[in-house]
Structure 1
Amino acid sequence: MKTVVIGSGSWGTALAQVLEDNQRDVILYGIEKSEVDDINLHHKNSKYFEDVSINPSLKATMDINVVKEADVVLLAVPTIAIESICQQIDLLLTKKTIIVNVSKGFHPTTNERMSQVIRRCISADHLSSVVSLIGPSHAEEVIIRLLTTIDAVSLNEEDAIVVQQLFSNHYLRIYTGSDEVGSELGVAIKNVMAIASGILSGLGYQDNTRAALITRGLQEMIRYGMAFGGQQQTFMGLTGIGDLIVTCTSVHSRNFSAGYQIGKENTVENFLKNNKKTVEGVRTAKIVHNVSKANGIDMPICEEVYQILYEGKEPKTCANDLMLRELKREF
């Protein structure tokens, strides 16, 4: 099977290397000449992995036409770019193709989950199914082949198994799942929780606080996910508590790092003024705020993150307000 990985950033490069390690037919597509040349000429992607040598057999290209004969296309681009890249490749695909998405978030204006965006933008003649390859993973660890487990989630079990078998090896283990709603909502909302975790760390709070944040954050994820048809059990797995833990505790997480800066300075001002990285939790916080308000879903942690990011509320005040909410039973 021919696989094209779209996006020569950190995650796209790491997953393309997985396929090359597995001796699959894979090529990596990117739009940055410096990244493509670095991969082809130096067997590195120094922008993202400064001191890491990647599989020398991996090849990259700037020719989008490579998708024409693809059996599998993996999208490793920010959520904001999913719609446009799908519209672009739909004009080039020549057969039913498995579209694998690894982005975690929502469409910025329609609030659609990524699988919904892909189905809307890829014609039925060109789409076998959408498979979300998601879970607790940092590209910085996969690229050096540290043990990792994630899920291949799809409404099409056969295609999920295809993706599972394509990517699984001695350092990357893939499980399959079918709860598309719960899985996609889980990996999106945990980015908001990771910002909250970073903020609390920046403010100087430590293990007790982080444990509380992760535990109560999980309850918010479950509450939100089940409101839209997600299964509670999903949130006990890799795309729920698994992804929540890794993102709320790791310096590799852009969302955690963004939150840490905000907490350290006790203001969002400098972050919003100077940030140039994709921090998915920022947009997700606004979407969750709007949707939860419209549907009467109680999301206190997400709401405080929204207040910090969009209303300029002081992080210290948010932490105090969460602690002083009305007392109640845990469940």
Structure 2
Amino acid sequence: MKNLNNTNNINNELIENKDKLKKFNFTIIGSGAFGTAVANFLVDNNNVIIYGIDKKEIDDIKINHKNTKYFGSIKLKNKIEATNNIKEALKEADAILLAIPSHIFKIVLKEKILPNMKKAAYFINLAKGFDYKEIKFLNQIIDETIPKNLNLGTLKLSGPSFAKELLKKEPTKFVLAAKDIEIAKNLKKYFETNYINIIISNEIYGVEILSVIKNPLSILLGIVQGLGYKMNSRAYIFSEALEEMKKIVNLYKLNENIIFLPAGVGDLYLTGNSKKSRNFSVGYKIGKNDKVNKKILNSFTTIEGLRSIEIIFLLAKKNGIDLKLFNLLYNITYKNTSPSKAMDEFFKGINEHYE
């Protein structure tokens, strides 16, 4: 009952203090690039602590105010706290931000976070991908793993953003999504700064889907550029990618206009056009080499887009959806079709549906 009362108190405080901002306690699980970059702008108006398992990284953040592994000599804000102690990290948490890879997402929630929670908190997913074992979206995993009396609300923060550019205060737009839009509305103000713009949505499943499917499509855009195709052809693939996004969104009976959210077309534009994007870079290497070599195959565990290709291909096949780009990606990454041959065949057949 104590936790339920705490839930009501925090929600009431948020509603009653729309104009007067109360400092919020954010705990970020994961000391990687994106988690650190989010901490760096959240700390302007809030208390922020980062939890990580790499002691060297955590000491670097705490003592040197840097995350040298990802950002070199760029300084972080001094107010960011960091710890290897999960109990310390969660002790005062009003909101828990999950910046961890999808393949360890459930384990961390179940074995690290849940046993050490002292009070109810909001859960905000920063990760992109599926739970590949259960074929579930990460917001579902949060809702199924964290009891209702400890979860004030599940949200998703997503949008076109490179971590290093966030540190440099480049203007950036995110969508903050929750099933209950009032929760997103009430939390929005804690994320906004003079260079961070937040829009809200109740389409959390849609935002999760977009954050999954844009990664494989970014790989394909990298392949096309690596093969030497020029802007006309790359724009062609980009527009086809938006069509396939729409088909998948329709499969889940969601409003297809969500593809125009920052997590859709904005994120695809960013990650599908720059070597700063890991997914684009892997695709570019595949295109340059005109094959998927062992080194690239070994990166399947860390490149979310590569791991999503098979899932989406099988999902489309099961539901009778024609996703030409995902068929193409599947043939390149799982059937060893050379990228140049696959793309030649694709472009030769572009007018078939008009005949």
TM-score by length of 1: 0.95
Equivalent position of 1:64 in the other structure: 86
The C-alpha deviation readout for 1:169-212, integer Å capped at 9, x for no partner, is 01111110111222211121010110001111111112112211
Alignment of 1:11-90 (within 5 A): 11-22=34-45, 24-65=46-87, 66-87=89-110, 88-90=112-114
Identity %: 33
Q: Which one of the candidate residues 74, 85, 101 is aligned to 2:125?
A: 101
Equivalent in 24, 28, 46 of residue 5 of structure 1: 28
Q: Distance in 2 between matches of 1:96 and 1:122?
A: 10
Q: Return the match for 1:158 from 182, 185, 192.
A: 182
Give the letter for the 1:158 counterpart. E
Counterpart pick for 1:179 among 197, 203, 217 = 203
1:302-321 to structure 2, matched below 5 A, reads 302-321=326-345
CA offset digits 1:30-63 (Å, max 9, x no partner)? 1111110111111110100013111122111001
Kindly provide the amino acid, as one letter, of the partner of residue 48 in structure 1. Answer: Y
Confirm or deny: 8 A CA contact 2:221 2:280 kept in the other structure. Answer: yes
Shift of 1:328: 5.5
Give the 3-state SS of the residue equivalent to 2:74 in structure 1: coil
CA separation of 1:103/1:159 partners in 2, compared to 1, >3 Å: closer, same or farther?
Answer: same
2:229 is the alignment partner of 1:205? yes
Map residues 180-329 of structure 1 onto 2, 5 A cutoff.
Answer: 180-273=204-297, 275=299, 278-325=302-349, 327=351
CA positional deviation for 1:309: 1.3
Residue by residue over 1:303-325, the C-alpha shift from the partner in whole angstroms, topping out at 9 and shown as x without a partner, is: 21122111111101111121123
Q: Distance in 2 between matches of 1:229 and 1:92?
A: 37
SS in 2 for 1:320: helix
Aligned to 2:145: 121
SS at match of 2:136: coil
Is contact 1:261–1:271 with CA below 8 Å preserved after alignment?
A: no
| Cα distance in 1 for residues equivalent to 2:304 and 2:124 | 19
Matched letter for residue 14 of structure 1: A
Whole-Å separation in 1 of the counterparts to 2:53 and 2:235: 40
CA distance in 2, matches of 1:221, 1:323: 20
Q: Offset at 1:243?
A: 0.9
- Counterparts of 1:177 and 1:76, CA distance in 2: 20
Please state how far the C-alpha of 1:163 moved relative to its aligned partner: 3.0
Give the distance between the partners of 1:276 and 1:328, measured in 2 at CA: 34
What are structure 1's unaligned runs of at least 5 residues?
Answer: none
How far did 1:274 drift? 5.1
* Structure 2 contact 40–80 (Cα < 8 Å) conserved: yes
Q: Return the alpha-carbon distance in structure 1 between the equivalents of residues 300 and 271 of structure 2.
A: 19
Give 2:7's aligned residue: none
Tell me by how many angstroms 1:96 deviates.
2.6
Structure 1 pair 56–69 and aligned structure 2 pair: CA distance change class (3 A): closer
State the number of aligned residues: 329
- Verify the 8 A CA contact 2:30 2:50 in the aligned structure 1: yes
Report the RMSD for the aligned CA atoms in angstroms: 1.6
Q: Distance in 2 between matches of 1:291 and 1:82?
A: 22
Task: Give the letter aligned to residue 63 of structure 1.
Answer: N
Task: Kindly provide the amino acid, as one letter, of the partner of residue 10 in structure 1.
Answer: A
Q: Mark the runs of 5 or more structure 2 residues left unpaired by the alignment.
A: 1-23
Q: Could you tell me how far apart the structure 2 residues matched to 1:276 and 1:313 are?
A: 18
Which runs of 4 or more aligned residues in structure 1 lie more than 4 Å from their structure 2 counterparts after TM superposition? none
Paired AA for residue 296 in structure 2:
L
Q: Are the counterparts in 2 of residues 98 and 159 from structure 1 also a CA contact under 8 Å?
A: no
Q: For 2:173, which of 149, 152, 159 is the aligned residue?
A: 149
Q: Which stretch shifts more, 59-68 or 264-273? A: 264-273
Preserved contact between residue 52 and residue 83 of structure 2 (Cα < 8 Å): yes
What code does the residue aligned with 2:53 have?
A: I
Which is greater in Rg?
A: 2
Q: In the superposition, relative to structure 1, how do residues 38 and 84 fare at CA in structure 2: closer, same or farther (>3 Å)?
A: same
Rounded Cα–Cα distance in structure 1 between residues aligned with 2:273 and 2:28:
28
TM-score by length of 2: 0.89
Q: Secondary structure at the match of 2:318?
A: helix
- What is the letter of the counterpart of residue 80 of structure 1? H
> Given residue 208 of structure 1, which amino acid in structure 2 is its aligned partner?
N
